[in-house]
Amino acid sequence: MSSRLLRADDPAAIEAGARTLRDGGLVAFPTETVYGLGANAFDARAVARVFEVKARPSFDPLIVHLSEGSDLGRVVAGDDARVERLGARFWPGPLTLVLPRRPDLPDIVTAGLDTVGVRVPAHPAARALIRAAGTPVAAPSANPFGYVSPTTAEHVVELLGQAVDLILDGGPCGVGLESTIVSLAAPEPTLLRPGGVSREELEDALGASLVRAAAPAERPLAPGQLERHYATRTPLRILPGPAAPLPAGAGRVGLLAWSAAPRGRGYAAVEILAPDGRPTTAAAGLFAALRRLDAAGLDTIVAEPCPERGLGLAIMDRLRRSSARG
């Protein structure tokens, strides 16, 4: 199976992608968060191929993507006033809600759970693709399980290349971090994964605080919570504070710096995440920076910490998971 790479702003490419999905194929497509690897959510065989291509464990459910919030009833059972409130404010956008599922959604999508994660992505190509396919699209991030999510079409080609039927190239993702996942199926609204919508904004919209999911269990609620995930192959360590110049003989160390490189030398490679000091800039460039450092033949990567407010919560979450040795 050889993959084709087409421009996501070409209507003919969207039509080709939609046809591929309807025919049971896999299409990698841009979203505002990261690239997704999509299959028709109601085609269990196509969804099985997604798991196979990603080498993803079958206990890890997929997010179902809709082109409109009004399509929610195709995969979700029941009504919930909080969904209307959150959907009105954050959809289309980087928020996934975990809700009671409809029984006719194939079990493989939800890993047998009685809930489904749903989101309406904001990227125009993603919405156009889903709309043209005429079916909800189940899509994890388009990377092998456990590795850093792709934020450009080139990343997808490198990571999954030949295994995908069609790749839509929409350029770099604007947000750069995965969606925030909130469960409304638990007794209290629960933050399963910090992401592109900040906890503060969500709590403001809900008028309630979010419970943070407990430490990952054997069979986690959101396996994105698996401790080692979003990982670089090079060991990564988070520094306690701003980076200092390196002592001699420290080996080949790469630095993931926040807004400026430290004075003095010694780092074999330096990536500055947010020269403008803005968390949105840091988030958009995080995975690409990790990927470059990972390819630089380093012994270690060290990362400066950032305040855990707004997008900083999701950035530190990804860095911690990347630093967990598993």
Q: Contact positions toward ligand TXA, by CB under 6 A?
A: 31, 33-34, 36, 60-63, 94, 96, 98, 110, 113, 115-117, 121, 139-141, 178-179, 181, 192, 221-224
Helix (H, G, I), strand (E, B) or coil at 74: helix
DSSP 198-209: -HHHHHHHHTSP
CB of 295 to Mg ion, least distance (A): 20
Q: Which amino acid belongs to residue 21?
A: L
Structure tokens at 250: 């420290």
If the CB atoms of residues 67 and 96 are measured against ligand TXA, the closer one turns out to be 96
CB of 206 to ligand TXA, least distance (A): 18
* Half-sphere exposure in the Cβ direction for 223 (13 Å, CA): 17
CB 198 within 8 A of CB 310: yes
Strand-pairing partners, residue 167, are 5, 28
Q: What region, left, alpha or beta, does residue 55 occupy, with left being phi > 0 and alpha being psi -120 to 50 degrees? A: left
Residue nearest to ligand TXA (CB): 224
Q: Is 3 or 190 the residue whose CB approaches ligand TXA more closely? A: 190
The nearer residue to Mg ion, 228 or 252, going by C-beta atoms, is: 228
Q: Which amino acid is at 204?
A: D
Give the nearer residue to ligand TXA in terms of CB position, either 219 or 252: 219
Q: Which stretch binds Mg ion (CB under 5 A): 75-83, 87-95, 135-143, 238-246?
A: 135-143
The binder of 96, among ligand TXA, Mg ion, none, by C-beta within 5 to 8 A per type, is ligand TXA
Would you count residue 141 as binding Mg ion (CB under 5 A)?
yes
- Residue number, nearest CB to Mg ion: 141
Distance CA 293, CA 256 (A): 8
Answer with the entry of Mg ion, ligand TXA, none that 30 interacts with (C-beta below 5 to 8 A by kind).
Answer: none
Residue with Cβ nearer ligand TXA (178 or 317): 178
Segment holding 19, helix H or strand E: helix 11-22
Sheet strands (E) in the chain: 4-7, 27-29, 36-40, 63-65, 95-100, 115-119, 137-138, 166-169, 180-183, 190-193, 211-212, 236-238, 253-257, 269-272, 300-303
* Among 133-141, 192-200, 212-220, 264-272, the segment contacting Mg ion (CB under 5 A): 133-141
Pick one of ligand TXA, Mg ion, none as the site partner of residue 113 (Cβ within 5 to 8 A by kind).
Answer: ligand TXA
| Secondary structure percentages of the chain, helix, strand, coil, to 5 | 30, 20, 50
The nearest distance, CB 274 to ligand TXA, in angstroms, is: 20
Task: Tell me how far, at minimum, the Cβ of 58 lies from Mg ion, in Å.
Answer: 15
Interface with Mg ion by CB under 5 A: which range of 136-144, 208-216, 267-275, 310-318?
136-144
Contact mark string toward Mg ion, 295..314, x via CB under 5 A: --------------------
Alpha-carbon gap, residue 63 to 96, rounded angstroms = 8
Binding partner of residue 221 among Mg ion, ligand TXA, none, CB cut-off 5 to 8 Å per kind: ligand TXA
- CA–CA distance, 45 with 42 (Å, rounded to integer): 9
Per the listing, tokens 């099985």 go with 48
What are the φ and ψ backbone dihedral angles of 168, each rounded to 5 degrees?
Answer: -95, 125
Cβ proximity to ligand TXA, 3 vs 96, nearer residue? 96
Residue 253 or 291 having the CB closest to ligand TXA: 291
Q: How far is the CB of 215 from ligand TXA (least distance, A)?
A: 15
Binding partner selected for residue 92 from ligand TXA, Mg ion, none, CB under the kind-specific 5 to 8 Å limit: none
The sign of the dihedral angle between the CA atoms of 219, 178, 283, 3 is positive
The amino acid present at 34, given as its one-letter code, is: V
Residues in touch with Mg ion (CB under 5 A) = 141
